[in-house]
Amino acid sequence: MQKVAVMGAGSWGTTLAKVFADAGSEVHLWARRPELAEAINTTHINPDYLPGLELPSGLIATSDAAAALDGSAIVIFGVPSQTLRSNLEKWAPLLPADSTLVSISKGVEAATLKRMSEVIADATGVDESRIAVLSGPNLAKEVAEEQPAATVIACTDEERAKAVQHAAAAPYLRPYTNTDVIGAEIGGACKNVIALACGMASGRGLGNNTLATIITRGLAEITRLGVALGADPFTFSGLAGMGDLVATCSSTLSRNRTFGYRLGQGGTLEEAKATTNGQVAEGVISSDSIFRLAQQVGVEMPITQAVYGVCHRGVDVEDMIVALMGRSKKSE
């Protein structure tokens, strides 16, 4: 039985720890707070992030990073995208040789405009062929409840992707492999911004025509950025592109959509935070970094720019909608 370390005991990290345990691996879940690790070990429940949902009895939680990482064949990084580098700098000396490093954080680093796999390569010095990305239409609560779902494991080394695929193949989660790391990451990071826009539109009382328009045109601008960065355009019609986008833009479980909904109702950023357990939605941070990344490579992303305006420049949601609808006419 191979050992898997999941570094981060939030809702998605905990859910994936359950997935890998249910698929047959020995799983060690690292939690930043010792009291949370103790609660998980004692009750087999994560009271803070997945309350009421029983975790496998064989899943071991710890606040000792060295103990979690020791001997792990697969290491999954489940900390927020903007704290990934600082955590990796502490963990890098502890990483087992030849382990596969898997990013599940969806974002672009604000300080450097780098994707998460690039941050991992930077901070650890490992070759990119050892770095994989797990991404797809995966709302944590639904996966944790064992509702059927699929995901993508992207890695430039196809054999490593297949090894992670095998380790993640729980009865209720179907993993597919892909070698397009760039596409999987860009799809995962950008969809949070489009979900904010969908939430804002819903908060204004707008209906399905508007949401379908935002999702479809959102996919178009995500694809433009991905292709400019070297991604395969077909990735965006798959699970890590369209699949993830639809799930995040449509579900009331989506933190980004919920956050946008409150902004659409006229709430401030602080009031919106209250609807998402006091946390700023990832898309708020990403709207700034992705907008700057798009400018850097000369790609037009009007919806991302509009969300950036609301979240970082104080633009009113109603004015954002008027500006988007008033753009110069063009072919699809």
- Does residue 189 contact residue 115 with C-beta atoms inside 8 Å? yes
Instruction: Find how far residue 175's CA is from the centre of its chain.
Output: 16
Q: Is 270 exposed, middle or buried (0-12, 13-18, 19+ CB in 10 A)?
A: exposed
The question of whether 191 is a catalytic residue gets the answer: yes
- Does residue 101 contact residue 32 with C-beta atoms inside 8 Å? no
| Dist. CA 2–CA 92, nearest whole Å | 20
- Which secondary structure element, helix H or strand E, spans residue 26, and what is its range? strand 26-30
Catalytic site residue from 3, 141, 191, 273: 191
Classified as helix, coil or strand, 318 is helix
DSSP strand pairing (26-30 vs 60-62): parallel
| Dist. CA 93–CA 53, nearest whole Å | 34
3-state SS track over 63-112: CCHHHHHCCCCEEEECCCHHHHHHHHHHHHHHCCCCCEEEECCCCECCCC
- The dihedral through the CA atoms of 264, 269, 275, 276 has a sign that is positive
Nearest to 107 by CA among 215, 16, 185: 185
| Dist. CA 85–CA 142, nearest whole Å | 29
- Does residue 118 contact residue 99 with C-beta atoms inside 8 Å? no
Catalytic residues: 191
